[in-house]
Amino acid sequence: MKTLYIRLAADGIRRNRRFYLPFLLTAAGVSAVQYILFFLTGDDGLDKISGGATLRVILQLGSFVIAVFAALFLFYTHAFLTRRRGREFGLYSVLGMGKRSLAAILFWETLLSFAASLSVGLLAGAALAKLAELGLYRITGGTVNYSLRLSGAGLGETALVFGVIFLLLFLDSLRRIGFADTVTLTKSENLGEKPPRANPVLGVLGLLLILGAYALAITIKDPIAAIGLFFLAVLMVIVGTYLVFIAGSVLLCRLLQRNKRYYYKPAHFISVSSMAFRMKQNGAGLASVCILATMVLVMISSTTCLYFGEEDVVRTRYPEDMRVEFVFWDDETTDASASDTDAVRALVLAEAADAGVEPTDFQENFTVYPKSGNARYICTFDTAADDDAQTALWRALLRRFGTDEAKEQYGYAQFFCDSRAVARGDFYGSFGGLFFLGILLSAVFICAAVLILYYKQITEAAEDASRFAIMQKVGMTAREIRRSVNSQMLTVFFLPLLLAGVHLACAFPMIAKLLTLFGMYNTGLFAATTGVSFAVFAALYALVWRVTSGAYCDIVGGTHA
């Protein structure tokens, strides 16, 4: 019996490869990205990069995001596969198989899917991990180690994460199949969705939520306040987008059906009437694509801006090459501390000379703060030295003045030293890591959006095939089928892209304010990266439309659009 179950499971996957292959490739791709992030997180070379500790935290956060997203998205796509297999499992039940036998088939299907996707994913991840490491080090300015290695911990952690996910998928399949009777299973694929009623209340509520989020984003002035309001605005946009797409798409169908000039044309009649029976699913799917597209655009535009504008950030936050600050405490008279600054100044200049650095534009300031009972001596200067020499001077100053002995000898309580060269390395590590993670996550989210659109199209094509077959028998040509497909896709396919563009444009002021917290005040650069990001994404989106429309026409019996 075990051999029979394995053969039935393998045959089921093979017969439904049009639906299973994208799911397996997606699981393999996400597991490859998961392994790469685990591989990079455990790389000892991060300790040698300026800002390596921050970069490691960024990569750990990215691996957590990928794991959560993988669980949610694989659940979404696997539910679709389970629905598609309902008739097959119903037939097995009619032939005498019990729930235990169906569970055994589901177990082997899940195990085969897990083994295939994880094997391909780990092989791809292992092959690409070194390339990803080279890219990360190039972005962050680190020194590349060209030796090849395999992360055993990364392999184990990736297998554990996806083992748990596929176990949950198996349990979900058992729930769906186990609680359904034979009649429900055999008819599950043909159960149509009743055309939902247009709900103007939900539509208006969704529109108000979106407009409210836009108002928050446009009117915000304080960057600190923007942090908390940003997450509120994101939540409002997500809920509002789902409500507008679900309720608004129903209303759109009703309006198109009332427009007799438009509706009773062969190119529009079938597409609009068929959409009316699945607008709830259509709306949710299109809203998901819109949210994913917005996430990609916000993430890639902001991280690209930070990466290419990091020198502007460094020079904004550190106007001079070096900044040295001493804090003196004197309960009786803070003026007495001023005499100590002569010795401190001489020692700073001496350390610079020993490091081979000649200060230029040397400026100093001694300020007394009576209320706090302290005085601050600050000196800033530029140099003609390279980053290595400036870093050496920074370390020498810390060694000379950062000890308790030096504080006791010269009478100061605290010592601070900032170097533009050191900060540049830290910023390159942090912003480079964000840029790298933004590219990885954007690629994953784009693949998710493509898969949603693909499943949406082939599902609708499978449902529409019989309708188009009837229409072809009564005289509808392949050309008219293509026109009908294009009409349907142009009606709804580009709505997510359009609304994502509006979301991005209205979120621009708030995101620009948030970027100022990183020291990025170059709004022109952010506008440029946003525009380029949207243009590139729109081109990819149009390519997906072309491919999925071809798949739709193949299924319904037409030719490529």
Rounded to the nearest integer, the mean pLDDT of the chain is 80
191-208, pLDDT tens digit by residue?
A: 544 455 556 788 888 889
Contact 328, 412 (CB under 8 A): yes
Q: Confirm if 449 and 293 have CB atoms less than 8 A apart.
A: yes
> Highest mean pLDDT: which of 137-151, 363-377, 395-409, 546-560?
395-409
Domain edge (last residue) among 390, 422, 454:
422
Torsion of CA 522, 528, 531, 534, to 10 degrees: -80
Under 8 Å between Cβ of 302 and 527: no
Indicate the pLDDT class of residue 332, thresholds 50, 70 and 90. very low
Largest CA distance in the chain: 103
Question: Tell me, what CATH number does 381's domain have?
Answer: 3.30.70.260
Domain end among 398, 422, 446: 422
Q: Which of 454, 470, 447 is nearest to 547 (CA)?
A: 454
For 23, the domain range is: 1-191
Weakest-pLDDT range from 42-56, 182-196, 319-333: 182-196
Q: Which pair of structure tokens corresponds to residue 137?
A: 């080090």
Same domain, yes or no, for 323 and 180?
Answer: no
Q: Which residue has the higher pLDDT, 24 or 460?
A: 24
Q: 245-276 pLDDT, tens per residue?
A: 877 777 777 777 788 787 777 666 766 776 66
CA angle 260, 262, 267 (to 5 degrees): 125
Q: Is residue 229 part of a domain?
A: no
Instruction: Examine residue 414 and state whether it is found in any structural domain, yes or no.
Output: yes
Strand order across the 412-419 sheet:
359-369, 374-383, 322-329, 412-419
> What pLDDT band is residue 333 in, cutting at 50, 70 and 90?
very low
The number of helices, as runs of H, and strands, as runs of E, in the chain is: 20, 4
Q: How far is CA 377 from the centre of its chain?
A: 45
Residue 211 lies in a domain: no
**Residue 313 — pLDDT band, cuts 50, 70, 90?**
confident
Task: Examine the domain organization and report whether 323 and 187 are in the same domain.
Answer: no
> Between these two residues, 230 and 550, which has the higher pLDDT value?
230
Burial class of residue 305 (count of CB atoms within 10 Å of its CB; 0-12, 13-18, 19+): buried
In a domain, 16, yes or no: yes
DSSP secondary structure letter of residue 332: S
Q: Regarding predicted confidence, which is higher, 29 or 18?
A: 29
How many CB atoms sit inside 10 A of residue 202's CB? Answer: 16
Give the three-state DSSP class for 323. Answer: strand
Q: Is residue 19 part of a domain?
A: yes
Tell me, yes or no, if the pTM score tops 0.85. Answer: no
Q: Would 129 be classed as within a structural domain?
A: yes
**One domain for residues 5 and 144:** yes
pLDDT(371) > 70: no
pLDDT score, position 488: 67
Whether residue 482 is contained in a domain is answered as no
Confidence bin at 415 (pLDDT 50/70/90): confident
Judge whether 242 lies within some domain. Answer: no
Q: What is the pLDDT of residue 559?
A: 43
> Of how many residues is the chain composed?
561
Residue type, 182: T
- Which of 191, 222, 248 is where one domain is finished? 191
Number of domains in the chain: 2
